[in-house]
């Protein structure tokens, strides 16, 4: 679901336009889960890269 499809119950405007505090809150809630890479994900990627580097070093 995207906020482009939602209509605000308070101001009857599209939520994507965030005309009122209710729209702003709803838009923030919908887009909250679309954030990027989080710190734990970055840490796991770095650990995986380190493990791969160690395995390649041991193989040679």
Residue range 3-54, pLDDT digits in tens: 677 888 889 888 888 889 888 887 777 766 545 667 888 889 999 999 999 9
Residues 6+ apart with CB under 8 A from 1: 30
Counting the structural domains of the chain, the total is 1
Please give the residue range of the domain that contains residue 29. 3-59
Phi–psi pair at 7, nearest 5 degrees: -115, 135
Specify the pLDDT at position 37.
67
Residues 6+ apart with CB under 8 A from 2: 16, 30
pLDDT of 1 strictly over 60: no
pLDDT of 57 strictly over 80: yes
The span from the CA of 6 to the CA of 25, in Å, is 12
- Predicted TM-score (pTM) of this structure: 0.44
CB atoms within 10 A of CB 24: 14
């Amino acid at each position: 679901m995207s906020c482009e499809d939602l209509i605000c119950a308070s101001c009857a405007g599209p939520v994507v336009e965030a005309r009122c505090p209710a729209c702003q809150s709803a838009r923030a809630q919908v887009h909250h889960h679309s954030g990027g890479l989080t710190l734990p994900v970055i840490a796991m990627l770095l650990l995986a890269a380190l493990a791969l580097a160690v395995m390649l070093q041991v193989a040679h």
